[in-house]
Each structure stands twice: as C-alpha cells, then as structure tokens.
Amino acid sequence: MNAFGGFQRVQRLLCLGAHSDDIEIGAAGTILRVLQENPNVHVTWCVFSGNQTRQNEARRGALGILGASTNHSLLLNDFTDSNFPEQRRSIKQLFETGLKLSDPDLILTHSRNDAHQDHRLICELTWNSFRAHQIWEYEIPKWDADLGQPNLYVPLEPSLVDRKLSLLQDVYASQRNKHWFDDETFRGLMRIRGLESNTRYAEAFFARKHVIA
C-alpha cells in the first residue's frame, strides 16, 4: 500500500463527490491546507452528478478552492442524483477508464457508512478501484445522524475555516433554502472535531488503512 508522508509529499490528490457541494462540505479545509503546504500538487476534482445549475456551482466551488493557476483536472458528470445504484456499471467505467489514470497519492471520498445511497456507492467503487492507495473518507452532516466516530483529524487554522464557510455560502445559492446549510452547521462540526483532536477546528475522516512513510 502506498505510504503517506505528509501533505508536502502529496503530488497527486483525487477528490470525489457524488453531488456538487459534497467535496467542499467534507474536505474543503483539508484541500486548502494541502494547497497551502504544497502549491505544486496536481488535483483531480470529480463530481458525479448535477444539472446545469449545480454543475455551474460545482465549477465555481472547485475553482474557488483550486484557483485559476492551480494544476488541476475538473471532471463534472451528469449521472442522475439519488439513482447511483442503478447506474453502477457506467459509474464504475468512469473509475476504471478515467480516474485510475490519475494514480493519486491521496484520495478524499465519501464514507462507507454514509446513509445516502449515492455516497455509499462512490465510496465502494473508490475502494474497489484503488486497492493500494491512501483513502480518507470525509463526513457529510445530515438529518440521518450518520456521522459516526472518525479516526483521523486534520487541524485547520481559523483562516481556512473562514474561507470554507465563505465559499459554501457564496457559491451554493441553490442550497440556501435548506435549514441545515449554514455557517452554524459547518463551523459547529469543525469545532467539535477540533475539540476531539485538541485543537480549535478540524475536519475529520475515516482512514480504514493508513501507512506512514
């Protein structure tokens, strides 16, 4: 299994999200920290679903984190939201013919125990396609109460937290009618994960296999 030697040694980062805002909700702070510590990293950013409005938001969200000059590949797909299990074969083909070519040092993906069926399938196919890679599963807060107990924490400076929150509110206008999509939810979760890791703020992940270089 590929060993993890810290963000400065991550040359290729793969970020996977079933829906347009998933990557940012689960891991924007961590990605910003990777870019801060290693500006030359190549980021492959893949969103699997979204109509035109959501794809436009996904593009703005990704570029808001990656920046125009960052070395990156942005893949926006239009698989049907909430219907991923029925599209498994086509999604699997995308993994095998496109995403595997990125040969990432670190993968950020959904949690295996996420209650959303789309999220679970992306996680399953991540592990199925990348058998010798570092995979961190991020968390998405929702009414299903499925957050669990993560085992890997990435401390975040307040400035990175503020950038994440500003981006979510500025970009994802289509989600503002949801009562949970606000700064309190996202800051609150990062504050709890910070408390659990003896810092102010953190994002948390599930690392089922982790090798240190």
Q: Are 169 and 59 in contact (CB under 8 A)?
A: no
The enclosing domain of 197 has a CATH number of: 3.40.50.10320
Whether 168 is in a domain gets the answer: yes
Domain count across the chain: 1
Angle (nearest 5°) at CA 124 between 139 and 46 = 65
pLDDT in tens, 5-26: 789 899 999 999 999 999 999 9
How far is Cα 92 from Cα 79, in angstroms, rounded to an integer? Answer: 12
The pLDDT of residue 142? 93
Whether 62 is in a domain gets the answer: yes
Q: Are 203 and 193 in contact (CB under 8 A)?
A: yes
Q: Are 202 and 196 in contact (CB under 8 A)?
A: yes
How far is Cα 66 from Cα 43, in angstroms, rounded to an integer? Answer: 8
Question: Both ends of the chain: CA-CA distance in Å?
Answer: 11
How far is Cα 42 from Cα 29, in angstroms, rounded to an integer? Answer: 17
Q: Are 91 and 126 in contact (CB under 8 A)?
A: no
Whether 136 is in a domain gets the answer: yes
Whether 1 is in a domain gets the answer: no
3-class DSSP assignment, residue 206: strand
Predicted confidence (pLDDT) at residue 49 exceeds the cutoff of 70: yes
Q: Please, what is the average pLDDT of the chain?
A: 95
pLDDT in tens, 102-150: 899 999 999 999 999 999 999 999 999 999 999 999 999 999 999 999 9
The pLDDT of residue 3? 65
User: Structure tokens of 15?
Assistant: 């970020």
The pLDDT of residue 196? 97
3-class DSSP assignment, residue 205: strand
Structural domain for 24, as ranges: 7-206
The pLDDT of residue 6? 85
The pLDDT of residue 211? 82
User: To the nearest 10°, the Cα dihedral for 73, 155, 207, 60?
Assistant: -20
The pLDDT of residue 210? 83
Whether 2 is in a domain gets the answer: no
Whether 131 is in a domain gets the answer: yes
pLDDT in tens, 66-109: 986 679 999 999 999 999 999 999 999 999 998 988 899 999 99
